[in-house]
Structure 1
Amino acid sequence: MSYNWREIDYALYSLDIRGSIIREIWQPDFKHLVMELYKPGQAINLIIRTDSTGTAIYPATKKIKKQKKPQRFVQFLRAHIRGARIKSIYQLSRERIIRIETHSSQENNILWIRLWASNPNIIVTDLEKNIKECMFRRPGREEMPGKKYSQPDNIARIYKDDTGGFHLRNPELTDNPTEWFKKIEENLSGEEEKKLEDRLREKIAANTEAELTELENRIKNLKSSIKEAENADRLKLYGDLITSEIYRINRGDRYLDTTDYHGNDIRIELDPSLNAHENAEKYYREYHKQTERKKRNLEQLESAEKKRKELAELLISLPGKELEELRKLERQQTKKEQENKKTDSKIPGLQVIINDYIVTIGRNSRESDEILRKYARGNDYWLHVRDWPGGHVFIRPAKTKDVPQHVIMKAAQLAVHFSKANREKRVDLYCTQVKYLRRAKHGTLGTVIPTREKNIVIERDEALVDRILGGREA
């Protein structure tokens, strides 16, 4: 709802603010301006509402919040009209424009308050109508500092009494102005609250659905990992069978053909570089590793499914939640987002600078996987030693430059240093860009398969690595 010209006339008559001192000015948001006015026997907070969904001017009965950082327009008003006296205030004819003239010892100004449902604005001019500042700068309407303020063409007249006569009264509005203003405030506040509730519901629902989608993917991955670990008992069986027939196995054997405890024929693959005892220990280690992983995944799955149920229930209950509940939920989601951003800002692994290029090293599978998932970009260069386990090295190219060959070769030294090949004299490495990597299906954490890769061969130089890690390699 917006004021019509009769309601503006009645509001100005009822407010009786001519002669008031403007003690303070602030904005609770981008669509409202508040002026704290005082004259003997009267102190009010005057709200000027310039929202296109409802324009109005009325005294506040509730406490009005202040923005922590004042907007440009408020800063201007505080510098130019705070402390000034309202000399005159009136409406222009039957047009929904209010003219307020302010006087102070330093300067005199006019505030033109346009309460149109479309294009509302507050414009400050000098007495010659030269625009000093606007609440909303609109170049298309020439409502900008330095321009001349012009009246709408359809205004037939203004009040003859420039001190602010009120001639257009509606008897139906004069019964109780206090109750009328209160009703206006409640109606507009109710509309604001409804709009705010709708915005909060929409925002919370979007965030919840995004979290739910992420959780669904996590649950899917956990179930897949649990299923893969179902063969853990077979690994223990292999270890037991190797131990029971340790006398038959020699180093260099590739298989053990035997029978399980039910008399079924079975072939167990062996590592020819290990003896029988070491092969058994290898299966036992893998058995314990998968068992522990399955246990952790089951616990995480239970927690994830519980959280999924809570989020689904939240989506169902959102339409019935009131404003305070919605605000609380929005604060919780915002806090969680900030915590996630704070956590994400700590890049895992090790970072060094080589000739002004940022090089990030994932020293283990967890760090490498996290860097690849959260921080690496498609054009980043990726390095890894061939045929040896080791860390992943990422080089961030400059915006307008490719990564020079000498930087890649130095980064390759780091890839060797953080790998099992760190005692070899001559080492081969993969080199490609992150966009040409793909995850190995059913592979261990951090395992990727490179494509379009180039081969790099380097001679290990520990002295160079020491200089880079010590920050002495520019």
Structure 2
Amino acid sequence: MPLDGLFVHAIAHELNEKLAGGRITKVHQPYQNEIILVVRNNQTNYPVLLSAHPAYARAQITQIPYQNPKTPTNFAMFLRRNLEGARLDSVSQVENDRILHFSVKTHDELGDEQTLLLTLEMMGRHSNLFLVREKDQRILELVKHVPADQNRVRSLIPGATYTLPPKQDKENPFDSTLGTLATILLDQEKDTWAKSIQQSYQGFSTQSAQALVKDLVDAPDALKTTKEWLANFNQPKPTLFRSEKGNLSYAAFPWNQDGEQQSFDSLGELLDAYFAGQAEADRVNQQAATLVRLVKNELKKNESKQKKLEQTLVDSENAESFKVKGDLLITYPHLVKKGMQEVEIENYYDNNNLLKIALDPRFDGLQNANRYFNKYRKLRSAKDYVLEQMEATQEEIDYFSSIQTQLSVASPKDVEDIRVELVEQGYLKEKTKVKTKGKQTKKPKHVMGKSDQFVATDGTLIEVGKNNLQNDQLSLKKQNRHKIWLHVQKMPGSHVLIDSENPSEQTLTEAAMLAAYFSKARDSANVPVDYLPAGKLRKPNGAKPGFVIFEGQQTLYVTPTAQLVQELRK
């Protein structure tokens, strides 16, 4: 189901139950339209994601790690001044709409108690996050400033009065007697029930309405069935559905839907599992747009170069034919006159069969012969150079293919490592700050991100490198020499290390599935994965980051699944 009013009802219930009465200890803005509040309640820290993203707007307790920018945004600084240390009084939904109020008790500049509302509107591209003073409904700040010429319905700038989005003339199903439902069921055809429910009640998406109708079709008591169905949103049983094609969908409880089902203990865990791939990929694309473009251009350039080299190699294989033509022209120069485009000469190398020879009309026979001899000498000497260049170009293609794969499976925290590597390799210029008067501060040394960690079913630690710097760290560390190393066969992918010299067969299979999942073969079946002790790996002199050679490996064939990756994530 999409994030409709019914699902937001369930989210509000979960957030209020876990967060009400807690203290806001930290405020971060790791991404453009998303805020993380760390709320401490009942001796537990809850990272609460409030997202006004156009495609992934939501509110949830999240366990997905995030990385803060070095310099906090103005919005983040404003929220810190007003919210850190304040008490989160309650989380409430506006009727059955996709709007949540986080009511915060704090003090103003004079020390008087006041209530601020952190209001999240989850409405697609119109999503926004406001900090509003409850007393006079004044907007103190908001994450997206919208000029008056772009929204004439209400003012969305600091200092304006906060007003709710235009209200639709629909009933709140949780407060209604559901009297309209009887009319719909009695007076209309079954195939129109879902649409009529949507038009009559707040918060129903198409999927939600269709799911309710499935339960109503054969229900002896429609009113009772509907009330029981709605009650599920107060006591959710979060469920993730996976279709045969691998498409994901989610619901607050396991309603009638085809596909494989997976249950979660909380809505936050459910949303983490659902949005992990999509939202993370979007964040990476935002942060790494320059890198993605660079890698794409480098691949295109090198693939084009490789094609030209291949053609040159084909030409060099035909070098003897140029020598033959030169010999014939120098033997029979009198047959060629200036202005001729071609000539046919008996080829004494081929039983005197006639050979057609193309000519440059500007030259006579001897001069055309010299042109063919020059081509022959160049191609003979170029062959070794071309082979050398083809090998170097293929290495570039392999390298940028691996970077492209790493960007496709990267999380936001991995992007900076990839950027630093491309700077060190000379493919990307490092940004330089404009010098200002006064003391110059030394640029801090880059701290490499940690590899992703997973725990096998038997408790063994499995580490996955998400970029070449992490891969080298995992694969070439002396203390890791006796641990088992894995990599997808003959394809770009992550280096995987099992923290054991003699892992169980199940752990080995799970690690192989991680290696396949974090590779170019993520969506393939029966993926070959090589494994061997890390001590058998060697790095050639001058090799690029992440490149190793080995022999004596064994191979497993596995089919990666996103569900296993989620289950093993530490």
Superposition TM-score, scaled by structure 2 size: 0.40
Larger C-alpha radius of gyration, 1 or 2?
A: 1
Superposition TM-score, scaled by structure 1 size: 0.47
